[in-house]
Chain A
């Protein structure tokens, strides 16, 4: 039985002449799991939005072809009505939380669909348990880590018990436990007849669950991913650039990091692992000066910067927070990068901007950041960190939303910085990416740093 039928679907967003989807045809059967792969900006998210009816109802543009989901023609049925058959999880769960606490946020869709009030708490608990997030039920959304928010977003879609579940990069911030829970859930849903469409850059995580894998590139089905660039060798370990001693960080009365000690040497890339909510982001924010150190010291190249404000550390420490693509300050990509390199002389600044744009495959110097895809914005934010050429580079989930080719570009860019003597710290759940770039792996466990076996890249 067919749950969704896409026939010759084309979509041109806004007044664009270039279609985001170009004559896409796809049939999705009951209980089928389809993984959609393809480069960033290839049309994966747009296809998912077309299946949920948000394209064309919420996003303006020209629409051609036909999409029928659960018997509803998406052109003549409002997206809200389609929510009775389609559950969606967006690429950017931080931005899509509707309410301020976990249980209320998961309950939101159930309330909209008129589920009986006494059934709502039961369904909320069930959905949270499916993604291994029952312990988060009473938490405020603002206090969750990126991965925890992703679990809550998935629970919000599962609570609706849809016929078709659409997941856009659902594992981008999940730890191994979260990925395992999602895999179990997808298997169980498919067995119960729910069709699942997953747009995913990390093929290794969900591809083995797929009945079919399709590739969407330049809006067309059947395209291919760009070849992955060969790796650049990493640098040689040099003198100590960053030292963290006895660090303790708190949120209110709750200690998130306790007696953390870590050193980073010039010319090395260190991967920082840890479960969702373990304190990786907090550690990165403390290093950058965005979160206060309750106890302990942060020393950069022999200088104690613990008491220095962020802007003073910025010359030495480049930090990319999670979701940094949302916080761009200028109206053109090129201006954003030039602004980030304001310490350089004019001529050098322009050459640095050009170089980093080439390095990260940014081909839209005049574009407004709000016109870019999530992945493109993340690359602009990353370029803004790299263009300043800091001694210490701290990145929080930098490969999120990136296709394999772009991840390889990022890896090469970081290794080039390490060759030039920078110390790089990357907090990530992307094990494949970490293995490909890191010389050393450390893990945050219950607020402390544990050294994993050193791994020298071949």
Chain B
């Protein structure tokens, strides 16, 4: 069953804001566990977001030590090359991992929230925010799900032409999959245009709308809304600087304080309880 978009969007926004606003590895770790639980709780899991999250997260983690020139504890040093810093420190690696986790959390959270949200009610919500532009509403509400379906259809076409996407060396597989990116974006945009055209032809933006009766808020919707509150509070505190910041450079900061441990527990509990509720 898919759920009302309002509570889930508040929950997801708070989660992502917290991930962006805090440097604390413990809190980021808790959020990582939480978003994986949210992902696993979905009936229609969006594996693409998990894959993209891992790729981006690992990429950022690996890249950071070579674009930063900070930290005291040198792990190893490579020969000098202009622009790049090839002296890798423990602090750079930990800071990179924190950045990578942040990217992973946000990517997987978006996929997980979209997997739990009722797409029709999301479109209805978008319609209230964008009552005139069918194209904008269509792209906002349908682009990502469309992208996912189109990716499947294009990979099927490639297989029907005898192209294997799942065997061979990873470099070859990546190249094959990369070649599908251009038609994928083209077809997803075209499909969004088609939907926008259908929306216009069926009167979208003609004037005041009515709504067919929808199911009332469920216990799960209310649970997600309640669990959003601690996340919103934590995100607000993190943005305002009220959570203990973590120092990466020149040496790694002190061990976790009581405040950090409490915040970690709250983040972990909120996300995991929400996942358990959504799984039912």
Which residue of B157, B191, B194, B212 contacts A107 across the interface (Cβ within 8 Å)? B212
Q: Is the CB of B206 within 8 A of A58?
A: no
B197, A54: Cβ atoms closer than 8 Å: yes
Kindly state whether residue A78 has any CB partner on chain B within 8 Å.
yes
Using a Cβ–Cβ cut-off of 8 Å, how many residues does chain B contribute to the interface with A? 47
Q: Which residue of B lies closest to A339 (CB)?
A: B161
Contact of A309 among B157, B159, B186, B203 (CB under 8 A): B159
Q: Do A310 and B156 touch (CB < 8 A)? A: yes
- Interface check A430, CB cutoff 8 A: no
B123 contacts chain A at the CB level, 8 A cutoff: yes
User: What residues of chain B lie closer than 8 Å to A101, measured between beta carbons?
Assistant: 120
Q: A356 to nearest B CB, angstroms? A: 14
Query: Does any Cβ of A come within 8 Å of B179's Cβ?
Result: yes
Which residues of B from 175 to 222 have beta carbons under 8 Å from A? 179-180, 182-183, 186-187, 190-191, 194-213
Rounded to whole angstroms, the CA-CA distance of A80 and B135 in the bound complex is 12
Q: Would B203 and A329 count as touching, CB distance under 8 A? A: no
Given contacts A90-B198, A115-B210, A327-B156, contact A100 B162 (CB under 8 A): no
* CB atoms of A83 and B210 under 8 A apart: no
Work out how many contacts link A and B, with CB atoms closer than 8 A.
Answer: 164
Check if A329 sits within 8 Å of B180, measured CB to CB: yes
**Contact residues of A between 307 and 348, Cβ < 8 Å to B:** 309-311, 314-315, 318-319, 321, 324, 326-331, 339-340, 342-343
Say whether B160 contacts A310, CB under 8 Å: yes
A124 to chain B, nearest CB (A): 8
Q: How far is the CA of A96 from the CA of B180 in the complex (A)?
A: 23
- The smallest C-beta distance from A71 to any residue of chain B, in angstroms, reads 16
Q: A157 to B201, alpha carbons, bound, how many Å?
A: 9
Question: Within 8 Å of chain B (Cβ to Cβ): is A163?
Answer: no
Does A114 sit within 8 A of B, measured CB to CB? yes
B120 & A80 in contact (Cβ 8 Å cutoff): no
Contact A324 to B161, CB < 8 A, known contacts A79-B201, A90-B198, A100-B119? no
Complex CA gap A258/B123 in Å reads 38
B134 within 8 A of A: yes
Is A229 in the interface zone, CB < 8 Å from B? no
Alpha-carbon separation in the docked complex, A88 to B204 (Å): 13
Assess whether B187 is in contact with A314, with CB atoms less than 8 Å apart: no
B164 at the interface (CB under 8 A from A): yes
Q: Is A228 an interface residue, CB under 8 A from the partner? A: no
Minimal beta-carbon separation of A180 from chain B (angstroms)? 26
Query: Which A-chain residue is minimally distant from B182 (CB atoms)?
Result: A331
Give per-residue flags for A96-114: 1 if the beta carbon is below 8 A from chain B beta carbons, else 0: 1111110110011111111
> Which of B162, B187, B206, B209 meets A311, CB within 8 Å?
B162
Taking the nearest CB of chain B, how far is it from the CB of A187, in angstroms?
24
CB within 8 A of A327: which of B187, B196, B200, B201? B187
How far in angstroms is the closest Cβ of chain B from A61?
A: 14
Q: How far is the CA of A343 from the CA of B134 in the complex (A)?
A: 44
Which residue of B is nearest A368, CB measured?
B186
Contact yes or no, B154 A327, CB < 8 A: yes
Q: Is the CB of B202 within 8 A of A108?
A: yes
Q: Which of A95, A289, A315 is packed against the most chain B CB atoms within 10 Å? A: A95
Known contacts: A54-B200, A96-B197, A96-B198. The answer to whether A111 contacts B191 by CB under 8 A is: no
Quick check: A388 and B159 within 8 Å, CB to CB?
no
Residues of B within 8 A of A385 (CB): 160
CB-CB nearest in chain A for B163: A311
B55 touches A (CB below 8 Å)? no
* Closest Cβ–Cβ distance, residue A70 to chain B (whole Å): 13
Q: Tell yes or no: A373 within 8 A of B by CB.
A: no
9 smallest A-B Cβ distances: which pairs?
A: A83-B203, A112-B203, A109-B202, A96-B198, A314-B162, A310-B159, A95-B194, A80-B206, A327-B157
What would 12 A/B residue contacts be, using CB atoms closer than 8 Å?
A80-B204, A81-B203, A95-B194, A113-B206, A117-B213, A120-B210, A156-B202, A290-B159, A290-B160, A309-B164, A321-B160, A327-B154
Given contacts A329-B179, A329-B180, 6 further A-B contacts (CB under 8 A): A54-B200, A110-B210, A288-B160, A311-B159, A329-B154, A340-B161
